[in-house]
Every structure is written in structure tokens, then in C-alpha cells.
Amino acid sequence: MAISVFDLFKVGIGPSSSHTVGPMKAARTFTAGLRAEGLLERVVRVRAELYGSLALTGKGHGSDTAVILGLLGETPEGVDVDAVPRLLAEVTRRDGLALDGTHEIGFSPKTDVDFRRKESLPGHPNGMRFVALDAEGAELSAKVYYSVGGGFVVDEEAAGADRIKPDDTPLPLPFATAEELLTLCRETGRSISSVMLANEAAFGRSPEQVRVELLEIWQAMRQCVRRGVTTEGTLPGGLKVPRRANRLYRQLGGSCDDSGLLRPGAPHDSDPMRGSDWITLYALAVNEENAAGGRVVTAPTNGAAGIVPAVMHYYEHFTPGASQEGIVRFMLTAGAIGILFKENASISGAEVGCQGEVGSASSMAAAGLVETLGGTPEQVENAAEIAMEHNLGLTCDPIGGLVQVPCIERNALASVKAITAAKIALRGDGSHFVSLDKVIRTMRDTGRDMMDKYKETSRGGLAVNVIEC
């Protein structure tokens, strides 16, 4: 199966890639299918049924909102996040919506989005079913989809694979494991980022186009950080969690340059750990934006969206000789590691816990940083392994089903961990005891052994031991 770096890094909307981006894409796919089958004009009502983790934490993750937006024909990358409250209010007021943006149907958000909390579908914990009804109430069409993490959506035929439907795209330098990737690097003399760049040609992108599009993704990350540090207030959802990035930004003496981009201010003291405060700030800013339903970059999920940008900001602002070319190499290398997790384990918190989201992102960021700092492919693989090894067993237990506590702080800590992993790897020669392939396999097995209540259900851990105020 061929996966592009742009499948791992894509502009979307918060607060969740699996519970927001996925349902939006599935709803839009369903409506597009109705149009393609010539059924759209006969539809008078649509019902959306959410199962498993989508049902249990969907309210806090905005899954119902995502479904409505998808039925309206909106996309995660294109929707105007500031217009979302108005669009939802209009649907509620009218008790209807324009299916695929054109065909008026009846639709009640309270009754036509059905959270089936006691039921699951067999293919994946994040299952959903859409039903289109005609004027007599008969089913015109019914489709099942699964949101398998990172915004990836599969239909019933591909269920259970935790990956997009396989395609026949031939890659010039294919790899399925870290060992295969390292062997490619040794045999060709290429870096990991160079292998990824060569493979992007299979998707019809020239090297220059890849560079341009990755830098556009990077700009979206930077703007997300800027919005996060310049916005005050309380996050939505009922927990009354205050935004902290703006306050920390002012405490650190930060500033924005003429292009509106974030620049660290001069340190106020000789604290050698001052840089970690900035890393924390970058991650907090992104994940507060995500929790507020803002524009973020899935990397590889929304719940872990702050880690890669935080480490990339560290590279840009705290590393001598940082360049745009380094940013491109960072993202290509991180993407290679993300593909390994996606192919051989999971990046879905509902399937393997937060180790699949924050752990994978930390591993990706560590690998990307080593590449930009001149590390060998073996050192890159070592850094990725170290970061993941120390996220094994991480549960996904969001309080109130919201991507806020412990998710926001968890991104900050995992960002620092990624940098530490990179520095440890760079001090060595690339040889180490546990391989990345083995730690990925261990993460997969740990996820299978983990009790379901610790996998994005809000039925275990902090979600039940902390009283919601």
C-alpha cells in the first residue's frame, strides 16, 4: 500500500482527527455517493448512527457537528471555522439542511444524529452508519464507515485493516518496516528524507512541488501556533479549562515579526531550561487551538497535533543553521516513521490508546529532528525507537470526552521527550538494543491487551477519577 507524507500531514479542523475529521469526511463521502448513484433528489431525510468510541466520546469531540458539516458538503481543510456556529444554528433553526450544499432535506441534530453508546460495529471502535430515507421512510441507501485514526476513513470492505484501502501505486523505493527502510538507505546511499522524496513521485508530485506543499503545511502549523499564543479565554465544552499559551507567551517575552510569525524573546534569566518553556508553549498553543475546534494540521492525529510543530519550532528558533530545506527534510523523515506506525500498528487512540497518537507523534518528531541535525539513518531510527519506547502503555482517557485534560499538557511533555530522544540518539552511533520495528510491534500488542475503557471511551482512568466541575 502506498501512503504519502501528505496523508500524514494535512490541514483540518479540531478537536479530533478520528472523531471530527473522520466523521466529516465520511458524511461528505456518503452524500457524494448519493449524488453519483442518482439518489440525491429522492432523499428527504438522513440519519447518522455513531457507535463505539464515536458514540461514547463523540459529544465532547464534536462528532455530531462534524457529521452535519459533512452532510452540508464541507471539508475539514476548507470549512470556515469561524462560520461553524452560524451554520449549526441555521440547521437547528430550520430543522433541515442543504444536503451536499444543494438539496434541501429535513434534519434534526437532536434526533438524526444517534449516539449508540451501548453498541459497536465489528470493524473498528470508531464505526458509523449513514441512512438516506425517501418520502415514505424507506431506505434509499445505507453505508457503514470506520474512522481509523489520523483522519483516515475506510468503508465496510476495508474494515478492520486500520489503513486506507490498498491501491496499486508502485513506489520506486518501497519499504514496509524500519529494517527495510534502513537497508534501502545503505544500498542507495540515500537519507530517509531522500527515500520519501523519491516515493512522492509515485503520487504525481515533482520534488519542487513536494517542497512547496510541505512548506505550505509548515506555514499552517506556524499560523496555528500564532493563533494559540494570541488568543485568550476559556476552552469550550464545560470543563472551563483556561487557555494558558497566551499567558506563558507574555511571560517569556515573545513577539511577532512583520510577517506575523512567532519569535522568541530574549531570556530574562540564565535558566538553562528556558528553551523547554518555549517548546511547551508551542505545543500548548496548537492543542488549545485544536480543543477549541480551530484550524490545525493533523500530525499524525489531532489529539497529538502539537508535538511535531513544537519540535519543528524548536529546530527553527533554537538550532543554528536552521533552514527551509531542513524543515522539508524534517517532515519527510517524520512522515516515513508515521507510515511505519500506520502500516504496522495503529495511530488510533480508540484502538491502541494514546500511545498510538502521542507516542507515534513523539517518535516522528524525534526522527525528524535527528535528520535535520545531520544524523545518520541509524540514528534517526534510534531516536524514533527511544521516543516510542517511553510512551508505551499510554492510555487515552480524556475527561468529559474532551481533547483537553490530559491531552494538551501531554503534547507538551511528549515534545520535550522527542527532543531528548533525538539528543540521546545523536550522542550514539545508531546501534541500540531494541529496534524500532520491535517497539512498534510491542505498541500494537500492548494496545490489543489494553482494556477498552482506556481507549478513548472516557470510561476509565482520569475520566472517571476526576469529578467534572
Amino acid at 439: V
The three cell numbers of residue 20 are 471530527
Task: Kindly report whether the peptide bond that precedes residue 125 is cis, defined as omega within 30 degrees of 0.
Answer: no
Partnered with residue 129 across adjacent β-strands are 49, 144
The alpha carbons of the chain give a radius of gyration, in whole angstroms, of 22
Task: Please answer whether residues 349 and 455 qualify as being in contact, where contact means their C-beta atoms are separated by less than 8 angstroms.
Answer: yes
For the entire predicted model, the pTM comes to: 0.92
Say how far apart CA 13 and CA 53 lie, in whole Å: 19
Burial of residue 156, with CB atoms counted within 10 A of its CB: 0-12 exposed, 13-18 middle, 19 or more buried: middle
Q: Supply φ then ψ for residue 203, to 5 degrees.
A: -100, 10
Task: Please answer whether residues 173 and 198 qualify as being in contact, where contact means their C-beta atoms are separated by less than 8 angstroms.
Answer: yes
Q: What is the DSSP string of 175-235?
A: -SSHHHHHHHHHHH---HHHHHHHHHGGGT--HHHHHHHHHHHHHHHHHHHHHHHH--SB-
H or E segment to which residue 24 belongs? helix 22-36
| pLDDT tens series, the chain, 469 aa | 689 999 999 999 999 999 999 999 999 999 999 999 999 999 999 999 999 999 999 999 999 999 999 999 999 999 999 999 999 999 999 999 999 999 999 999 999 999 999 999 999 999 999 999 999 999 999 999 999 999 999 998 765 444 444 456 899 999 999 999 999 999 999 999 999 999 999 999 999 999 999 999 999 999 999 999 999 999 999 999 999 999 999 999 887 666 555 667 655 556 777 789 999 999 999 999 999 999 999 999 999 999 999 999 999 999 999 999 999 999 999 999 999 999 999 999 999 999 999 999 999 999 999 999 999 999 999 999 999 999 999 999 999 999 999 999 999 999 999 999 999 999 999 999 999 999 999 999 999 999 999 999 999 999 999 865 4
Amino acid at 207: P
DSSP 45: E
287: number of Cβ within 10 Å: 33
407-426 vs 377-389: helix crossing angle, rounded to 10: 140
